């Protein structure tokens, strides 16, 4: 999940400086946006025909992200067997992943199909805010999940007493609040800036560093504030996750072999997701500072990196969690059986059952199947 750290392209000379209209009061600048002012998203215009290949790859990846994470949310809400805190946090993480990728990928897909992509100034700042806020919130939820694993392994007898529903809601609310806390200052400072033409954002969406280059004045303070809050979000979540797993490791060292293997299975999926998330972030950050890549390659790497964790999350948790696999398999089987029964009923009673009656019977059978499996309560 990209935060504030990555500069996509070197600062280019501006051809003209046409600031948006401003009102000067006591030395401060309050920006008043003109209704006809828009930012132009440069995107990947230089790729030519290769854009269609990237479009197909991104579209398929986005469909998988939506399908996989939506399935996790659905089974977590409908299956009583998945009512534990872990699946509650996982469903919230899936929701964040869906919204997080939706803030950027659809715009990028439309940009690949059009020659000129524009976005209004308020729309640009909304996209920039939610992109950063959801990235930080996702890492905060991963931190909450690490604490959940710590309580489950180190305090198993008190787990249900500690992780009550009010506590879960407070933890999720704290994760969202932490994301807003780390995002609002830099977004508010950027909103107060005046911007000069040409209003070309050298990225596929309103990336903070790319938008900041369009500001007319000195933005060194904005960069410092943005980097500071990025470090706060990364270090706070990283240290808390490492602390949780350090305590888990100490507790596991006192367990027997069977208990140790069970503990490893309990936190393996989450540990894999955290490792991929922070490992890919470190790799991209280092490659941006060391490697000599073109702006187009850096944009593609940034897109793939931001979509990597939401893409892999459903697969990792489905492969590692037998309960989740069984729930998905049970729901799919119930759907198939319901459709087959409905078709057979319509064939045997074509005259007595109209289309509306068949659909009503299908709904009744579907609810019955789910109730028999304990999915409706």
pLDDT tens digits for range 38-78: 888 877 767 777 778 888 988 999 999 999 999 999 998 88
Q: Is the pLDDT of residue 227 over 60?
A: yes
Place of tokens 């350090």: 246
User: For position 14, what pLDDT does the model report?
Assistant: 39
The per-type count for the chain, helices as H runs and strands as E runs, is: 12, 5
Across 70-74, 197-201, 220-224, 294-298, the highest mean pLDDT is recorded for: 70-74
pLDDT in tens, 162-172: 999 999 999 99
- Provide the Cα torsion 81, 83, 88, 91; round to 10°: 40
Most confident of 12-21, 22-31, 294-303, 343-352: 294-303
pLDDT at site 5:
44
Yes or no: say if 316 and 96 are a contact pair by the CB < 8 Å rule.
Answer: no
Structure-block tokens of residue 33: 């946006």
Percent of the chain having pLDDT more than 90? 25
Mean of pLDDT values over 103-113 = 84
Query: Residue 308 burial (CB < 10 Å; 0-12/13-18/19+)?
Result: middle
Q: What is the pLDDT of residues 5-45, one digit of tens each?
A: 444 344 443 333 333 333 333 333 334 445 456 888 877 76
| Mean pLDDT on 191-219 | 82
Contact (CB, 8 A) for 267 and 153: yes
- Looking at per-residue confidence, does 206 or 92 come out higher? 92
């Amino acid at each position: 999940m990209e935060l504030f750290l990555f500069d996509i392209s070197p600062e280019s000379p501006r051809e003209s400086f046409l600031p948006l209209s401003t009102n000067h009061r006591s030395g401060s600048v309050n920006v008043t946006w003109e209704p006809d002012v828009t930012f132009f998203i440069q995107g990947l215009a230089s790729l030519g025909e290769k854009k269609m290949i990237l479009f197909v790859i991104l579209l398929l990846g986005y469909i998988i992200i939506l399908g996989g994470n939506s399935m996790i949310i659905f089974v977590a809400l409908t299956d009583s067997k998945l009512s534990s805190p872990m699946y509650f946090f996982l469903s919230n993480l899936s929701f964040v992943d869906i919204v997080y990728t939706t803030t950027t990928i659809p715009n990028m897909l439309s940009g690949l199909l059009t020659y000129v992509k524009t976005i209004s100034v308020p729309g640009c700042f909304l996209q920039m805010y939610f992109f950063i806020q959801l990235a930080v919130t996702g890492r905060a939820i991963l931190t909450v999940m690490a604490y959940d694993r710590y309580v489950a392994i180190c305090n198993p007898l008190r787990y249900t007493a500690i992780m009550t529903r009010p506590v879960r809601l407070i933890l999720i609310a704290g994760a969202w609040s932490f994301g807003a806390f780390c995002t609002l200052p830099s977004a508010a400072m950027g909103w107060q800036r005046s911007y000069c033409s040409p209003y070309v954002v050298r990225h596929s969406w309103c990336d903070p560093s790319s938008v900041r280059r369009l500001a007319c004045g000195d933005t060194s303070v904005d960069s410092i504030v943005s980097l500071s809050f990025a470090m706060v979000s990364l270090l706070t979540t990283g240290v808390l996750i490492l602390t949780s797993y350090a305590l888990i490791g100490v507790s596991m060292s006192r367990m027997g072999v069977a208990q140790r293997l069970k503990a490893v299975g309990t936190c393996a999926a989450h540990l894999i997701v955290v490792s991929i998330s922070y490992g890919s972030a470190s790799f991209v950050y280092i490659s941006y500072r060391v490697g000599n890549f073109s702006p187009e390659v850096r944009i593609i790497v940034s897109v793939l990196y931001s979509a990597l964790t939401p893409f892999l999350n459903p697969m990792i948790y489905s492969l590692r969690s037998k309960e989740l696999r069984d729930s998905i398999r049970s729901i799919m089987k119930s759907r198939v059986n319901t459709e087959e029964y409905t078709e057979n009923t319509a064939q045997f009673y074509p005259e007595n059952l109209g289309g509306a009656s068949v659909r009503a019977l299908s709904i009744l059978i579907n609810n019955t199947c789910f109730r028999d499996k304990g999915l409706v309560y």
